[in-house]
Amino acid sequence: MTDKPETKFEPVIIGFTCNWCSYRAADMAGTARMKYAPNVRLTRLMCSGRLDPTFVFKAFAGGADAVLVSGCHPGDCHYINQNYKAMRRFHLMKRVLVQMGIEPGRLKLLWASAAEGAMFAREVNSFVEEVRALGPLNWNSNHVHTADHVMSVVAEGHEHEAEVAA
Partner 1 sequence: MDKKDEKEKIGVYVCHCGTNIAGVINVEEVSTWAAENLKDQGVVISREYKFMCSSLGQELIQKDIKELGLTRVVVAACSPHLHEKTFRNACKGAGLNPYLCELVSIREQDSWVHTDKVAATEKAKAIISGGVSRVVYHEALEPLHVPIHPATLVVGGGIAGIQAALEIADAGFPVYLVEREPSIGGHMAQFDKTFPTLDCSACILTPKMVDAGNHPNITLLTYSEVEKVDGYVGSFVATIRKRARSLREADCTGCGICWEKCPKKVVDDVFEAGMGNRKAIYVPFPQAVPKYPVIDRVNCTYYIKGTCKACEKFCPTNCIDFAQQDEILTVEVGNVILATGWDLFDTRRITQYGYGRLPNVFTSLEFERMSNSAGPTGGNVVLRDGKTEPKVVGIVHCVGSRDKNYNEYCSSICCMQSLKFAHLVKEKTGAEVYNFYIDIRTPAKGYEEFYHRLLEEGTHFIRGKVAEISDATRLPSEEGKLVIQVEDTLTGNQLRVPVDMAILSAGLEPRHDSKALAKLFGISCSADGWLIERHPKLDPIATMTDGIYIAGCVQGPKDIPASVAQGAAAAARVMGKIQQKEIALEPVRATIHEEQCSGCRICNNLCPFNAILFHEDRMVSEVNPALCQGCGTCVAGCPAGAITGTGFSNEQILSQINGLLLLNVPKKQAVAA
Q: List the helix and strand counts (H, then E) for the chain.
A: 5, 4
Measured from the CB atom, the residue of 143 and 151 that comes closer to partner 1 is 143
**C-beta pairs of 78-86 under 8 Å, 24+ apart in sequence:** 78/18, 78/19, 78/20, 78/21, 78/47, 79/46, 79/47, 79/49, 82/47, 82/48, 82/49, 82/50, 83/18, 83/47, 83/48, 83/49, 83/111, 85/49, 86/47, 86/48, 86/49, 86/51
Out of 14, 87, 102, 109, name the contact with partner 1 by CB under 8 A: 14
Smallest distance, Å, CB 121 to partner 1? 7
CA distance 150 to 147: 5
Q: Is 141 in the site for partner 1 (CB under 8 A)?
A: no
Smallest distance, Å, CB 147 to partner 1? 20
Q: Is 6 in the site for partner 1 (CB under 8 A)?
A: yes
Q: Is 96 in the site for partner 1 (CB under 8 A)?
A: no
What x/- string results for residues 15 through 54 when contact with partner 1 is judged by CB under 8 A? -----xx-xx-xx-xxx-xxxxxxx-xxxxxxx-xxxxxx
Contact residues: partner 1, CB under 8 A: 5-6, 8-12, 14, 20-21, 23-24, 26-27, 29-31, 33-39, 41-47, 49-55, 58-59, 62-64, 75-76, 78-82, 85, 89, 113-116, 121, 125, 128-129
